[in-house]
């Protein structure tokens, strides 16, 4: 593990005198941090780099490009995903001895046909009850710009078609395969070039509630009849990708629609989801746990919020609480920090993909948290203000005041 000294070296541009800079950074008191924590939470230790792209990558696209999710398998190994469309992990006997493993847990399908929902696949939202069979959900991207005649503009975002699919591992999480008929959620509309991004993505942790259902929050893009925000879905059977039902405003009556299984004159509106409490959480969907200290669901994600006292939006990592996953408290600031979409050159490097992992959780899937937990995030290193692949996975221990 590496402390925050490395990140400070990068920001100051003092690689030539790295040792001196490291000493200086470690000598700084916690209050000297450029990151301001909100009034209800406090860091209780230094920032630690779990995955250092410069030293730990297995190949250039081995980057932490999704929230960190972890399991404790039946062999008593901690597995923490470092996910891109190349799906790697760090693994060890504890959270303090995690080491990289250069094995792609599930290669992306790379299909050029959007109807297959099998192009670029980010494995995430892993969940296990026995430590041997592990279920997961992917953020699935069809990137039309990669295929001839599928994206006239050649623009990645304008030709981005998003969905969620189901995967499973039968061997302790050592590799994953798509479930049978794997589509879990998609937009009810077929792919059309240069109209994106649209669809659904970024599923949260899978969490089992007292009613026996498994719940997941996920992000939706604004497109035609579908509103932007965070939607909620549930199932009783993780083995069946078709069994998930999404919230439609009054009940969990929404079923998936594969728009390529065409029913003549079928309208799309009945297959859209109703975002939950947009005013409170906007599109936060990164990390979901049951917090035993607060006795509520804890949602953590990147967001902004207008702050009258300063007269502008404050960006950073926020949290919100709920009793029922539908109604949420107004989001509260956990830590003020630039986000990827709010960052400007000259600011501290932006954070992304926050997640809460409580190493003391009794859940094999770390679906519970308490007063003290680790906040994980992806640090986007942008030397000379350039956007690139250099991203590190970092954690900082946090406590509710």
- Cα-atom radius of gyration of the chain, to the nearest Å? 21
- 49 forms beta bridges with 2, 394
User: Residues 365-370: what's their mean pLDDT?
Assistant: 98
Segment 386-400, tens digit of pLDDT: 899 999 999 999 999
Segment 38-95, tens digit of pLDDT: 999 999 999 999 999 999 999 999 999 999 999 999 999 999 999 999 999 999 999 9
> Cβ contacts of residue 352 below 8 Å, gap of 6+?
302, 339, 340, 377, 378, 380, 391
Q: Given a cut of 50, is residue 352 above it in pLDDT?
A: yes
d(CA 19, CA 1): 17
pLDDT band at 273 (very low <50, low <70, confident <90, very high): very high
How many other CB atoms are found less than 10 A from the CB of residue 60? 11
The mean of the pLDDT values for the chain is: 91
Q: Given a cut of 60, is residue 335 above it in pLDDT?
A: yes
Segment 145-159, tens digit of pLDDT: 999 999 999 999 999
pLDDT band at 1 (very low <50, low <70, confident <90, very high): low
Question: For position 7, what pLDDT does the model report?
Answer: 43
Segment 182-220, tens digit of pLDDT: 999 999 999 999 999 999 999 999 999 999 999 999 999
- 41 forms beta bridges with 400
């Amino acid at each position: 593990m590496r402390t925050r000294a490395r990140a400070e070296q990068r920001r100051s541009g003092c690689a030539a005198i790295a040792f001196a800079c490291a000493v200086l950074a470690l000598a700084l008191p916690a209050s000297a941090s450029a990151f301001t924590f909100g009034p209800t939470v406090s860091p209780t230790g230094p920032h630690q780099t779990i995955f250092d792209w410069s030293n730990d990558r297995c190949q250039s696209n081995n980057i932490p490009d999704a929230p960190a999710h972890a399991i404790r398998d039946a062999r008593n190994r901690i597995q923490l995903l470092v996910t891109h469309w190349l799906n790697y992990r760090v693994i060890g006997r504890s959270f303090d001895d995690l080491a990289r493993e250069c094995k792609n847990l599930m290669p992306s399908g790379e299909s050029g046909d959007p109807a297959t929902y099998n192009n670029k696949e980010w494995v995430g939202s892993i969940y296990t009850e026995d430590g041997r069979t592990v279920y997961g959900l992917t953020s699935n991207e069809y990137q039309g710009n990669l295929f001839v005649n599928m994206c006239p503009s050649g623009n990645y975002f304008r030709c981005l078609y998003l969905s969620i699919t189901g995967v499973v591992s039968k061997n302790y999480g050592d590799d994953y395969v798509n479930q049978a008929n794997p589509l879990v959620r998609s937009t009810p509309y077929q792919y059309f070039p240069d109209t994106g991004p649209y669809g659904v993505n970024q599923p949260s942790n899978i969490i089992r509630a007292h009613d026996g259902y498994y719940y997941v929050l996920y992000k939706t893009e604004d497109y035609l009849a579908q509103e932007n925000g965070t939607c909620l879905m549930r199932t009783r059977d993780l083995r069946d990708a078709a069994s998930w039902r999404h919230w439609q405003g009054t009940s969990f009556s929404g079923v998936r629609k594969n728009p390529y299984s065409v029913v003549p004159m079928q309208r799309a509106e009945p297959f859209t989801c109703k975002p939950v409490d947009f005013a409170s959480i906007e599109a936060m969907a990164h990390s979901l746990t049951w917090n035993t200290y607060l006795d509520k669901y804890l949602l953590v994600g990147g967001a902004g919020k207008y702050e009258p006292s300063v007269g502008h939006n404050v960006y950073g990592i926020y949290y919100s609480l709920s009793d029922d996953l539908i109604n949420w408290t107004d989001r509260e600031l956990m830590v003020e920090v630039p986000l990827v979409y709010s960052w400007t050159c000259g600011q501290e490097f932006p954070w992304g993909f926050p997640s809460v992992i409580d190493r003391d959780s009794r859940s094999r899937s770390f679906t519970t948290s308490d007063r003290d937990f680790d906040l994980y995030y992806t640090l986007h290193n942008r030397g000379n203000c350039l956007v690139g692949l250099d991203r590190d996975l970092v954690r900082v221990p946090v406590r509710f005041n």
